[in-house]
A = this chain, B = another copy of it.
Amino acid sequence: MGKKVCVFLVLVSILVLAIDAITVDRLNIWPMPKLVSHGEHRTLYVSKDFGLKTEGSKYNDASGILKDGFSRLLDVIRVAHVVDANFSGIDTSVLLQGLHVVVLTADDELRYGIDESYKLSVPDSGKPVYAHLEAQTIYGALHGLQTFSQLCYFNFTLEVIQVPRVPWTVIDKPRFSYRGLLIDTSRHYLPLPVIKKVIDSMTYAKLNVLHWHIVDTQSFPLEIPSYPKLWDGAYSISERYTFVDAAEIVSYAQRRGINVLAEIDVPGHARSWGIGYPSLWPSKNCQQPLDVSNEFTFKVIDGILSDFSKVFKFRFVHLGGDEVDTSCWISTPRLRKWLGGGVAQKVVASGLRCIVSNQDKWYLDHLDDTWQQFYMNEPLTNITNPKQQELVIGGEVCMWGEHIDGSDIEQTIWPRAAAAAERLWTPYDKLAKDPRKVTGRLAHFRCLLNQRGVAAAPVAGPGRVAPEEPGSCYSQ
Protein backbone atom coordinates (compact mmCIF):
# COMPACT_ATOMS: atom_id res chain seq x y z
CA MET A 1 0.00 0.00 0.00
CA GLY A 2 2.95 2.33 0.71
CA LYS A 3 3.74 2.83 -2.95
CA LYS A 4 0.16 3.62 -3.80
CA VAL A 5 0.06 6.30 -1.13
CA CYS A 6 3.24 7.91 -2.44
CA VAL A 7 1.90 8.09 -5.97
CA PHE A 8 -1.23 9.63 -4.61
CA LEU A 9 0.69 12.27 -2.69
CA VAL A 10 2.60 13.30 -5.77
CA LEU A 11 -0.68 13.68 -7.59
CA VAL A 12 -2.00 15.84 -4.79
CA SER A 13 1.02 18.11 -5.02
CA ILE A 14 0.48 18.60 -8.71
CA LEU A 15 -3.17 19.28 -8.14
CA VAL A 16 -2.41 21.86 -5.48
CA LEU A 17 -0.48 23.89 -8.01
CA ALA A 18 -3.33 23.60 -10.48
CA ILE A 19 -5.81 24.60 -7.81
CA ASP A 20 -4.01 27.78 -6.88
CA ALA A 21 -4.24 28.73 -10.50
CA ILE A 22 -7.93 27.85 -10.64
CA THR A 23 -8.83 29.88 -7.64
CA VAL A 24 -7.14 33.05 -8.68
CA ASP A 25 -6.89 33.04 -12.45
CA ARG A 26 -9.91 31.33 -13.92
CA LEU A 27 -13.33 32.74 -14.57
CA ASN A 28 -15.16 30.96 -11.79
CA ILE A 29 -18.74 32.06 -12.23
CA TRP A 30 -21.50 29.43 -12.31
CA PRO A 31 -23.71 29.46 -14.32
CA MET A 32 -21.63 31.27 -16.95
CA PRO A 33 -23.13 34.68 -17.81
CA LYS A 34 -23.99 35.79 -21.32
CA LEU A 35 -21.14 38.29 -21.49
CA VAL A 36 -18.23 38.85 -19.12
CA SER A 37 -15.18 41.05 -19.35
CA HIS A 38 -12.57 41.83 -16.71
CA GLY A 39 -9.16 43.33 -16.09
CA GLU A 40 -6.07 41.48 -15.01
CA HIS A 41 -3.97 43.14 -12.35
CA ARG A 42 -6.02 45.46 -10.17
CA THR A 43 -7.81 44.32 -7.04
CA LEU A 44 -10.39 46.06 -4.88
CA TYR A 45 -11.08 45.33 -1.21
CA VAL A 46 -14.59 45.18 0.17
CA SER A 47 -14.98 47.90 2.79
CA LYS A 48 -15.97 47.06 6.35
CA ASP A 49 -19.10 49.20 5.92
CA PHE A 50 -19.85 47.91 2.43
CA GLY A 51 -23.30 49.37 1.84
CA LEU A 52 -26.31 49.38 -0.43
CA LYS A 53 -27.22 52.54 -2.40
CA THR A 54 -30.40 52.79 -4.48
CA GLU A 55 -30.51 56.36 -5.86
CA GLY A 56 -32.32 56.45 -9.18
CA SER A 57 -34.09 53.15 -8.57
CA LYS A 58 -37.81 53.04 -9.42
CA TYR A 59 -38.30 50.15 -7.02
CA ASN A 60 -38.98 51.38 -3.47
CA ASP A 61 -38.35 48.01 -1.77
CA ALA A 62 -41.32 48.41 0.57
CA SER A 63 -41.31 44.64 1.07
CA GLY A 64 -37.59 44.55 1.84
CA ILE A 65 -36.75 42.02 -0.88
CA LEU A 66 -33.66 43.96 -1.98
CA LYS A 67 -32.56 44.81 1.54
CA ASP A 68 -32.80 41.15 2.59
CA GLY A 69 -31.07 40.00 -0.60
CA PHE A 70 -28.20 42.41 0.07
CA SER A 71 -27.97 41.18 3.65
CA ARG A 72 -27.73 37.57 2.40
CA LEU A 73 -25.01 38.71 -0.02
CA LEU A 74 -22.97 40.01 2.91
CA ASP A 75 -23.57 36.75 4.77
CA VAL A 76 -22.36 34.51 1.96
CA ILE A 77 -19.25 36.52 1.11
CA ARG A 78 -18.26 36.60 4.80
CA VAL A 79 -19.30 33.10 5.84
CA ALA A 80 -16.10 31.19 5.12
CA HIS A 81 -13.57 33.24 7.14
CA VAL A 82 -13.42 35.94 9.76
CA VAL A 83 -12.82 39.37 8.23
CA ASP A 84 -10.23 40.87 10.54
CA ALA A 85 -8.50 43.50 8.43
CA ASN A 86 -7.08 46.69 9.74
CA PHE A 87 -8.85 48.81 7.14
CA SER A 88 -7.01 51.95 8.18
CA GLY A 89 -3.98 50.46 6.45
CA ILE A 90 -5.75 50.09 3.10
CA ASP A 91 -5.73 53.03 0.65
CA THR A 92 -9.31 54.26 0.14
CA SER A 93 -8.77 54.35 -3.62
CA VAL A 94 -8.84 50.51 -3.64
CA LEU A 95 -11.71 50.18 -1.15
CA LEU A 96 -15.02 49.10 -2.63
CA GLN A 97 -17.47 51.20 -0.62
CA GLY A 98 -20.69 49.55 -1.67
CA LEU A 99 -23.07 48.46 -4.35
CA HIS A 100 -25.34 50.87 -6.21
CA VAL A 101 -28.46 49.03 -7.34
CA VAL A 102 -30.89 50.53 -9.83
CA VAL A 103 -34.10 48.61 -10.53
CA LEU A 104 -36.15 50.03 -13.39
CA THR A 105 -39.56 48.53 -12.53
CA ALA A 106 -41.50 49.47 -9.40
CA ASP A 107 -43.57 46.28 -9.34
CA ASP A 108 -42.27 43.17 -7.56
CA GLU A 109 -44.86 40.58 -8.55
CA LEU A 110 -42.99 37.42 -9.54
CA ARG A 111 -44.86 36.62 -12.74
CA TYR A 112 -43.85 33.78 -15.01
CA GLY A 113 -41.58 35.02 -17.80
CA ILE A 114 -40.55 38.15 -15.92
CA ASP A 115 -37.39 39.95 -17.09
CA GLU A 116 -34.48 38.39 -15.18
CA SER A 117 -31.67 40.24 -16.94
CA TYR A 118 -29.10 42.38 -15.15
CA LYS A 119 -25.95 44.35 -15.83
CA LEU A 120 -23.21 44.36 -13.23
CA SER A 121 -20.05 46.42 -13.27
CA VAL A 122 -17.21 46.77 -10.81
CA PRO A 123 -14.99 49.71 -11.83
CA ASP A 124 -11.31 49.92 -11.03
CA SER A 125 -11.48 53.44 -9.66
CA GLY A 126 -13.82 56.14 -8.42
CA LYS A 127 -14.20 58.60 -5.58
CA PRO A 128 -15.55 56.68 -3.76
CA VAL A 129 -15.54 53.34 -5.60
CA TYR A 130 -18.96 51.72 -6.00
CA ALA A 131 -20.03 48.64 -7.92
CA HIS A 132 -23.11 49.14 -10.11
CA LEU A 133 -25.98 46.80 -10.71
CA GLU A 134 -28.85 47.62 -13.02
CA ALA A 135 -31.87 45.42 -13.71
CA GLN A 136 -35.35 45.71 -15.16
CA THR A 137 -36.83 43.91 -12.13
CA ILE A 138 -35.87 43.22 -8.56
CA TYR A 139 -35.51 39.56 -9.50
CA GLY A 140 -32.93 40.34 -12.15
CA ALA A 141 -31.12 42.37 -9.49
CA LEU A 142 -31.11 39.35 -7.15
CA HIS A 143 -29.34 37.33 -9.87
CA GLY A 144 -26.82 40.16 -10.13
CA LEU A 145 -26.13 39.91 -6.40
CA GLN A 146 -25.44 36.20 -6.81
CA THR A 147 -22.96 36.89 -9.59
CA PHE A 148 -21.30 39.61 -7.51
CA SER A 149 -20.89 37.15 -4.63
CA GLN A 150 -18.93 34.88 -6.98
CA LEU A 151 -16.46 37.65 -7.82
CA CYS A 152 -15.51 37.89 -4.13
CA TYR A 153 -12.60 35.99 -2.57
CA PHE A 154 -11.08 35.97 0.87
CA ASN A 155 -7.60 37.44 0.95
CA PHE A 156 -5.62 35.43 3.52
CA THR A 157 -2.85 37.99 3.86
CA LEU A 158 -4.99 41.04 4.57
CA GLU A 159 -7.91 39.01 6.05
CA VAL A 160 -10.42 40.91 3.97
CA ILE A 161 -12.79 40.16 1.07
CA GLN A 162 -11.33 41.13 -2.28
CA VAL A 163 -12.59 41.47 -5.82
CA PRO A 164 -9.62 40.64 -8.02
CA ARG A 165 -9.18 41.56 -11.68
CA VAL A 166 -11.26 44.71 -11.78
CA PRO A 167 -12.80 46.27 -13.82
CA TRP A 168 -15.64 43.76 -14.31
CA THR A 169 -18.56 44.05 -16.68
CA VAL A 170 -21.21 41.33 -16.71
CA ILE A 171 -24.23 41.50 -19.02
CA ASP A 172 -26.52 38.60 -18.38
CA LYS A 173 -29.92 37.07 -18.92
CA PRO A 174 -31.27 33.50 -18.90
CA ARG A 175 -31.73 31.38 -22.01
CA PHE A 176 -34.90 29.71 -20.68
CA SER A 177 -37.57 31.27 -18.49
CA TYR A 178 -38.38 28.07 -16.57
CA ARG A 179 -35.47 26.52 -14.66
CA GLY A 180 -36.82 24.11 -12.14
CA LEU A 181 -36.06 21.62 -9.41
CA LEU A 182 -38.64 19.11 -8.23
CA ILE A 183 -38.81 17.99 -4.62
CA ASP A 184 -41.02 15.15 -3.39
CA THR A 185 -42.51 15.39 0.09
CA SER A 186 -44.68 12.31 -0.16
CA ARG A 187 -42.13 9.50 -0.29
CA HIS A 188 -40.33 11.22 2.57
CA TYR A 189 -41.43 14.26 4.52
CA LEU A 190 -38.97 17.12 4.23
CA PRO A 191 -38.91 19.47 7.25
CA LEU A 192 -39.35 23.19 6.59
CA PRO A 193 -35.70 24.15 7.28
CA VAL A 194 -34.59 21.52 4.76
CA ILE A 195 -36.88 22.95 2.06
CA LYS A 196 -35.74 26.49 2.86
CA LYS A 197 -32.11 25.49 2.54
CA VAL A 198 -32.83 23.85 -0.83
CA ILE A 199 -34.43 27.14 -1.92
CA ASP A 200 -31.38 29.11 -0.80
CA SER A 201 -29.06 26.80 -2.70
CA MET A 202 -31.23 27.07 -5.83
CA THR A 203 -30.64 30.83 -5.88
CA TYR A 204 -26.88 30.25 -6.00
CA ALA A 205 -27.37 28.36 -9.31
CA LYS A 206 -30.03 30.82 -10.58
CA LEU A 207 -32.80 28.21 -10.71
CA ASN A 208 -36.21 29.87 -10.51
CA VAL A 209 -38.95 27.26 -10.01
CA LEU A 210 -39.42 24.90 -7.09
CA HIS A 211 -41.73 22.18 -8.36
CA TRP A 212 -43.29 20.85 -5.17
CA HIS A 213 -44.55 17.31 -5.70
CA ILE A 214 -46.57 17.47 -2.50
CA VAL A 215 -48.54 14.25 -2.30
CA ASP A 216 -48.34 10.79 -3.77
CA THR A 217 -49.40 7.25 -3.06
CA GLN A 218 -47.31 7.00 0.10
CA SER A 219 -48.42 10.03 2.11
CA PHE A 220 -50.51 13.21 2.04
CA PRO A 221 -48.63 15.66 4.25
CA LEU A 222 -50.43 18.95 3.43
CA GLU A 223 -53.41 20.46 5.20
CA ILE A 224 -56.29 21.13 2.79
CA PRO A 225 -58.79 23.32 4.66
CA SER A 226 -61.71 22.33 2.38
CA TYR A 227 -61.15 18.63 3.03
CA PRO A 228 -59.53 18.45 6.45
CA LYS A 229 -59.25 14.67 6.55
CA LEU A 230 -56.92 14.52 3.53
CA TRP A 231 -53.82 14.93 5.67
CA ASP A 232 -54.91 11.92 7.72
CA GLY A 233 -52.86 10.29 4.95
CA ALA A 234 -49.65 11.75 6.39
CA TYR A 235 -47.01 9.35 7.72
CA SER A 236 -47.44 10.69 11.25
CA ILE A 237 -48.90 13.68 13.03
CA SER A 238 -45.50 15.36 13.05
CA GLU A 239 -44.84 14.86 9.35
CA ARG A 240 -47.38 17.40 8.11
CA TYR A 241 -47.41 20.92 6.70
CA THR A 242 -50.08 23.34 7.83
CA PHE A 243 -51.62 25.57 5.22
CA VAL A 244 -49.65 28.41 6.79
CA ASP A 245 -46.43 26.39 6.45
CA ALA A 246 -47.14 26.11 2.71
CA ALA A 247 -47.71 29.87 2.50
CA GLU A 248 -44.41 30.39 4.33
CA ILE A 249 -42.56 28.22 1.80
CA VAL A 250 -44.12 30.11 -1.11
CA SER A 251 -43.28 33.48 0.40
CA TYR A 252 -39.73 32.41 1.31
CA ALA A 253 -39.15 31.25 -2.27
CA GLN A 254 -40.79 34.24 -3.96
CA ARG A 255 -38.71 36.72 -1.99
CA ARG A 256 -35.70 34.95 -3.49
CA GLY A 257 -37.03 35.04 -7.05
CA ILE A 258 -38.30 31.47 -7.05
CA ASN A 259 -41.84 30.47 -7.94
CA VAL A 260 -43.41 27.41 -6.36
CA LEU A 261 -45.19 25.09 -8.76
CA ALA A 262 -47.58 23.03 -6.66
CA GLU A 263 -48.41 19.54 -7.83
CA ILE A 264 -51.12 17.08 -6.96
CA ASP A 265 -50.62 14.02 -9.07
CA VAL A 266 -53.94 12.61 -10.36
CA PRO A 267 -55.47 10.20 -11.05
CA GLY A 268 -52.58 7.82 -10.31
CA HIS A 269 -50.11 8.26 -7.43
CA ALA A 270 -52.94 9.16 -5.07
CA ARG A 271 -53.63 6.21 -2.79
CA SER A 272 -52.94 8.32 0.33
CA TRP A 273 -56.01 10.50 -0.39
CA GLY A 274 -58.29 7.64 0.59
CA ILE A 275 -56.95 7.27 4.15
CA GLY A 276 -59.16 10.19 5.15
CA TYR A 277 -61.80 9.71 2.45
CA PRO A 278 -62.04 6.00 1.49
CA SER A 279 -64.71 6.68 -1.11
CA LEU A 280 -61.99 8.18 -3.32
CA TRP A 281 -60.73 4.62 -3.82
CA PRO A 282 -62.32 2.45 -6.48
CA SER A 283 -62.79 -0.09 -3.69
CA LYS A 284 -61.18 -0.98 -0.38
CA ASN A 285 -59.29 -3.77 -2.03
CA CYS A 286 -58.23 -1.78 -5.05
CA GLN A 287 -57.13 1.66 -3.99
CA GLN A 288 -55.78 3.37 -7.06
CA PRO A 289 -56.04 5.26 -9.32
CA LEU A 290 -58.70 7.60 -7.89
CA ASP A 291 -62.28 6.59 -8.58
CA VAL A 292 -62.94 8.89 -11.53
CA SER A 293 -66.55 7.65 -11.83
CA ASN A 294 -67.34 9.24 -8.48
CA GLU A 295 -68.40 12.89 -8.49
CA PHE A 296 -66.90 13.31 -5.03
CA THR A 297 -63.43 12.75 -6.52
CA PHE A 298 -63.83 15.83 -8.69
CA LYS A 299 -65.29 17.84 -5.81
CA VAL A 300 -62.20 17.05 -3.77
CA ILE A 301 -59.88 17.98 -6.65
CA ASP A 302 -61.85 21.21 -7.05
CA GLY A 303 -61.52 21.92 -3.33
CA ILE A 304 -57.79 21.32 -3.40
CA LEU A 305 -57.32 23.59 -6.41
CA SER A 306 -59.47 26.25 -4.83
CA ASP A 307 -57.42 26.11 -1.62
CA PHE A 308 -54.21 26.04 -3.66
CA SER A 309 -55.21 29.26 -5.41
CA LYS A 310 -55.06 31.06 -2.05
CA VAL A 311 -51.44 30.09 -1.45
CA PHE A 312 -49.74 29.08 -4.68
CA LYS A 313 -49.67 32.21 -6.81
CA PHE A 314 -47.64 30.81 -9.69
CA ARG A 315 -49.63 30.61 -12.91
CA PHE A 316 -48.99 26.90 -13.25
CA VAL A 317 -50.25 23.98 -11.21
CA HIS A 318 -49.10 20.46 -12.05
CA LEU A 319 -51.68 17.68 -12.20
CA GLY A 320 -49.36 14.76 -12.69
CA GLY A 321 -51.09 12.35 -14.97
CA ASP A 322 -48.12 10.02 -15.16
CA GLU A 323 -47.73 6.32 -14.50
CA VAL A 324 -51.40 5.57 -14.06
CA ASP A 325 -51.81 1.93 -13.16
CA THR A 326 -55.23 1.32 -14.65
CA SER A 327 -55.58 -2.24 -13.41
CA CYS A 328 -57.90 -1.14 -10.60
CA TRP A 329 -60.10 0.61 -13.13
CA ILE A 330 -60.06 -2.37 -15.41
CA SER A 331 -60.87 -4.82 -12.63
CA THR A 332 -63.74 -2.66 -11.33
CA PRO A 333 -66.57 -3.19 -13.87
CA ARG A 334 -68.34 0.20 -13.74
CA LEU A 335 -65.02 1.97 -14.38
CA ARG A 336 -63.96 -0.35 -17.14
CA LYS A 337 -66.90 0.94 -19.25
CA TRP A 338 -65.96 4.45 -18.80
CA LEU A 339 -62.30 4.24 -19.29
CA GLY A 340 -60.32 4.95 -22.44
CA GLY A 341 -56.57 5.05 -23.04
CA GLY A 342 -54.09 7.72 -23.93
CA VAL A 343 -53.92 9.95 -20.85
CA ALA A 344 -50.46 11.16 -21.86
CA GLN A 345 -51.62 12.09 -25.37
CA LYS A 346 -54.54 14.06 -23.92
CA VAL A 347 -52.19 16.12 -21.76
CA VAL A 348 -50.01 16.96 -24.77
CA ALA A 349 -53.03 17.68 -26.96
CA SER A 350 -54.36 20.14 -24.39
CA GLY A 351 -51.88 22.67 -25.73
CA LEU A 352 -49.60 22.94 -22.69
CA ARG A 353 -46.14 24.11 -23.49
CA CYS A 354 -43.21 21.85 -22.78
CA ILE A 355 -40.84 21.65 -19.82
CA VAL A 356 -38.05 19.17 -20.43
CA SER A 357 -37.24 16.66 -17.73
CA ASN A 358 -36.29 13.38 -19.34
CA GLN A 359 -35.87 10.68 -16.73
CA ASP A 360 -32.84 9.15 -18.37
CA LYS A 361 -30.95 12.43 -18.00
CA TRP A 362 -32.40 14.79 -15.41
CA TYR A 363 -33.71 12.55 -12.64
CA LEU A 364 -31.48 13.18 -9.64
CA ASP A 365 -32.54 9.94 -7.95
CA HIS A 366 -30.76 8.07 -10.76
CA LEU A 367 -27.49 7.97 -8.89
CA ASP A 368 -25.59 6.43 -11.79
CA ASP A 369 -26.11 9.50 -13.91
CA THR A 370 -23.12 11.80 -13.76
CA TRP A 371 -23.03 15.58 -13.81
CA GLN A 372 -21.57 15.32 -17.31
CA GLN A 373 -24.80 13.69 -18.49
CA PHE A 374 -26.81 16.37 -16.74
CA TYR A 375 -24.71 19.05 -18.39
CA MET A 376 -24.96 17.66 -21.91
CA ASN A 377 -28.74 17.19 -21.88
CA GLU A 378 -29.84 19.79 -24.44
CA PRO A 379 -33.56 20.63 -24.20
CA LEU A 380 -33.81 21.45 -27.90
CA THR A 381 -32.25 18.23 -29.18
CA ASN A 382 -33.98 17.28 -32.45
CA ILE A 383 -36.29 20.28 -32.27
CA THR A 384 -35.40 22.45 -35.24
CA ASN A 385 -38.63 24.25 -36.03
CA PRO A 386 -38.34 27.70 -34.39
CA LYS A 387 -42.01 27.74 -33.39
CA GLN A 388 -41.66 24.35 -31.73
CA GLN A 389 -38.49 25.56 -30.03
CA GLU A 390 -40.42 28.45 -28.50
CA LEU A 391 -42.83 25.96 -26.93
CA VAL A 392 -39.91 24.61 -24.88
CA ILE A 393 -40.00 27.09 -22.04
CA GLY A 394 -37.28 25.38 -20.01
CA GLY A 395 -36.60 22.29 -18.01
CA GLU A 396 -36.27 20.88 -14.56
CA VAL A 397 -34.31 18.31 -12.63
CA CYS A 398 -36.27 15.95 -10.41
CA MET A 399 -35.37 14.90 -6.90
CA TRP A 400 -37.77 11.98 -6.47
CA GLY A 401 -37.92 11.05 -2.82
CA GLU A 402 -37.95 7.26 -2.47
CA HIS A 403 -34.44 7.24 -0.97
CA ILE A 404 -34.18 10.92 -0.09
CA ASP A 405 -34.93 12.59 3.21
CA GLY A 406 -33.49 15.35 5.37
CA SER A 407 -30.27 13.36 5.64
CA ASP A 408 -29.19 13.12 2.01
CA ILE A 409 -31.16 15.50 -0.18
CA GLU A 410 -28.47 18.17 -0.55
CA GLN A 411 -25.68 15.96 -1.84
CA THR A 412 -28.07 14.14 -4.16
CA ILE A 413 -29.17 17.44 -5.72
CA TRP A 414 -25.76 19.13 -5.87
CA PRO A 415 -23.60 19.50 -7.91
CA ARG A 416 -25.58 17.72 -10.64
CA ALA A 417 -28.48 20.19 -10.54
CA ALA A 418 -25.92 22.95 -11.10
CA ALA A 419 -24.82 21.30 -14.33
CA ALA A 420 -28.41 21.40 -15.58
CA ALA A 421 -28.80 24.96 -14.29
CA GLU A 422 -25.99 26.17 -16.56
CA ARG A 423 -27.59 24.36 -19.52
CA LEU A 424 -30.81 26.28 -18.79
CA TRP A 425 -29.26 29.67 -18.05
CA THR A 426 -26.27 30.15 -20.35
CA PRO A 427 -26.60 31.01 -24.07
CA TYR A 428 -26.25 27.89 -26.20
CA ASP A 429 -23.07 29.03 -27.94
CA LYS A 430 -21.31 29.70 -24.62
CA LEU A 431 -21.99 26.21 -23.28
CA ALA A 432 -19.08 23.80 -23.36
CA LYS A 433 -19.31 21.19 -26.09
CA ASP A 434 -17.09 18.96 -23.97
CA PRO A 435 -17.93 18.84 -20.25
CA ARG A 436 -14.24 18.40 -19.38
CA LYS A 437 -13.85 22.08 -20.20
CA VAL A 438 -16.03 23.06 -17.24
CA THR A 439 -14.93 20.47 -14.67
CA GLY A 440 -12.66 22.87 -12.79
CA ARG A 441 -15.26 25.61 -12.74
CA LEU A 442 -17.98 23.23 -11.53
CA ALA A 443 -15.63 21.86 -8.84
CA HIS A 444 -15.06 25.45 -7.76
CA PHE A 445 -18.82 26.00 -7.54
CA ARG A 446 -19.34 22.84 -5.49
CA CYS A 447 -16.61 23.97 -3.08
CA LEU A 448 -18.34 27.35 -2.88
CA LEU A 449 -21.55 25.50 -1.94
CA ASN A 450 -19.66 23.61 0.79
CA GLN A 451 -18.24 26.90 2.07
CA ARG A 452 -21.78 28.19 2.33
CA GLY A 453 -22.82 25.14 4.32
CA VAL A 454 -24.52 23.30 1.46
CA ALA A 455 -23.61 19.59 1.40
CA ALA A 456 -22.80 19.37 -2.33
CA ALA A 457 -21.16 16.06 -3.23
CA PRO A 458 -17.80 15.63 -4.96
CA VAL A 459 -17.73 16.28 -8.70
CA ALA A 460 -15.71 13.11 -9.30
CA GLY A 461 -18.12 10.23 -9.64
CA PRO A 462 -21.86 9.91 -10.12
CA GLY A 463 -24.54 11.12 -7.72
CA ARG A 464 -24.06 11.31 -3.96
CA VAL A 465 -20.65 9.70 -3.68
CA ALA A 466 -18.45 10.16 -0.67
CA PRO A 467 -14.95 11.48 -1.40
CA GLU A 468 -12.91 8.55 -2.64
CA GLU A 469 -9.63 9.59 -1.02
CA PRO A 470 -8.25 12.34 1.18
CA GLY A 471 -7.71 15.43 -0.93
CA SER A 472 -8.66 18.92 -1.91
CA CYS A 473 -12.28 19.86 -2.47
CA TYR A 474 -11.22 21.36 -5.80
CA SER A 475 -9.87 18.07 -7.13
CA GLN A 476 -12.72 15.79 -6.08
Chain A residues within 8 Å of B, Cβ to Cβ: 9, 12, 16, 19-20, 23-24, 79-82, 84, 153-154, 156, 159, 186-189, 191-194, 197, 218-219, 223, 234-242, 244-245, 247-248, 271, 401-408, 410-411, 447, 450-458, 464, 466-476
Tell me the complex Cα distance, A242–B154, Å. Answer: 11
Q: Which of B188, B238, B244, B408 sits near A470, CB closer than 8 Å?
A: B188
Chain B residues whose CB sits within 8 angstroms of the CB of A401 once the complex forms: 470
The 6 closest A-B pairs by CB, nearest first: A406-B450, A235-B472, A187-B470, A193-B453, A19-B236, A191-B451
**11 cross-chain CB contacts under 8 A:** A12-B235, A19-B235, A79-B192, A82-B244, A82-B245, A218-B471, A236-B472, A402-B467, A405-B450, A405-B458, A407-B410
Contact between B188 and A473 (Cβ–Cβ < 8 Å)? yes
Q: Which of B239, B410, B466 sits near A472, CB closer than 8 Å?
A: B239
Q: Which of B218, B235, B239, B456 sits near A407, CB closer than 8 Å?
A: B456
Tell me the complex Cα distance, A435–B281, Å. Answer: 40
Tell me the complex Cα distance, A466–B234, Å. Answer: 21
Q: Which of B84, B153, B245, B470 sits near A81, CB closer than 8 Å?
A: B245
Q: Which of B187, B238, B450, B469 sits near A23, CB closer than 8 Å?
A: B238
How distant is A142 from chain B, measured CB to nearest CB, in Å? 21
Tell me the complex Cα distance, A269–B413, Å. Answer: 35
Tell me the complex Cα distance, A429–B410, Å. Answer: 40
Chain B residues whose CB sits within 8 angstroms of the CB of A240 once the complex forms: 156
Q: Which of B223, B235, B455, B466 sits near A410, CB closer than 8 Å?
A: B455
Contact between A471 and B82 (Cβ–Cβ < 8 Å)? no
How distant is A421 from chain B, measured CB to nearest CB, in Å? 18
Tell me the complex Cα distance, A241–B80, Å. Answer: 9
How distant is A67 from chain B, measured CB to nearest CB, in Å? 21
Contact between A248 and B82 (Cβ–Cβ < 8 Å)? yes
Contact between B407 and A457 (Cβ–Cβ < 8 Å)? yes
Contact between B235 and A197 (Cβ–Cβ < 8 Å)? no
Q: Which of B20, B218, B247 sits near A12, CB closer than 8 Å?
A: B218
Chain B residues whose CB sits within 8 angstroms of the CB of A218 once the complex forms: 9, 12, 470-471
Tell me the complex Cα distance, A452–B406, Å. Answer: 10
Tell me the complex Cα distance, A240–B223, Å. Answer: 47
Contact between A473 and B156 (Cβ–Cβ < 8 Å)? no
Contact between A194 and B453 (Cβ–Cβ < 8 Å)? yes
Tell me the complex Cα distance, A466–B404, Å. Answer: 7
Q: Chain B residue with minimal CB distance to A186?
A: B470
How distant is A289 from chain B, measured CB to nearest CB, in Å? 14
How distant is A45 from chain B, measured CB to nearest CB, in Å? 16
Tell me the complex Cα distance, A238–B154, Å. Answer: 8
Q: Chain B residue with minimal CB distance to A233?
A: B16
Pick from A81, A82, A236, A472 the residue with the most CB of B within 10 Å: A236
Tell me the complex Cα distance, A401–B471, Å. Answer: 10
Q: Chain B residue with minimal CB distance to A474?
A: B236
Chain B residues whose CB sits within 8 angstroms of the CB of A156 once the complex forms: 223, 237, 240, 242
How distant is A12 from chain B, measured CB to nearest CB, in Å? 7
Q: Which of B197, B223, B476 sits near A405, CB closer than 8 Å?
A: B476
Q: A191-B450, A245-B82, A447-B238 are in contact. Are A411 and B402 (CB under 8 A)?
A: no
Q: A407-B457, A467-B188 are in contact. Are A16 and B472 (CB under 8 A)?
A: no
Tell me the complex Cα distance, A362–B408, Å. Answer: 22
How distant is A204 from chain B, measured CB to nearest CB, in Å? 14
Contact between A455 and B453 (Cβ–Cβ < 8 Å)? no
Contact between A193 and B79 (Cβ–Cβ < 8 Å)? yes
How distant is A450 from chain B, measured CB to nearest CB, in Å? 3
Given contacts A188-B471, A404-B467, A405-B467, 16 further A-B contacts (CB under 8 A): A12-B218, A16-B236, A80-B192, A81-B244, A82-B245, A82-B248, A156-B237, A159-B242, A218-B470, A218-B471, A235-B473, A235-B475, A403-B468, A406-B450, A407-B458, A408-B466
Chain B residues whose CB sits within 8 angstroms of the CB of A455 once the complex forms: 406-408, 410, 455
Q: Which of B82, B84, B411, B473 sits near A239, CB closer than 8 Å?
A: B473
Tell me the complex Cα distance, A159–B118, Å. Answer: 41
How distant is A303 from chain B, measured CB to nearest CB, in Å? 19
Chain B residues whose CB sits within 8 angstroms of the CB of A411 once the complex forms: 407-408
Contact between A271 and B193 (Cβ–Cβ < 8 Å)? no
Contact between B236 and A191 (Cβ–Cβ < 8 Å)? no
Chain B residues whose CB sits within 8 angstroms of the CB of A80 once the complex forms: 191-193
Q: Chain B residue with minimal CB distance to A449?
A: B406
Tell me the complex Cα distance, A2–B473, Å. Answer: 43
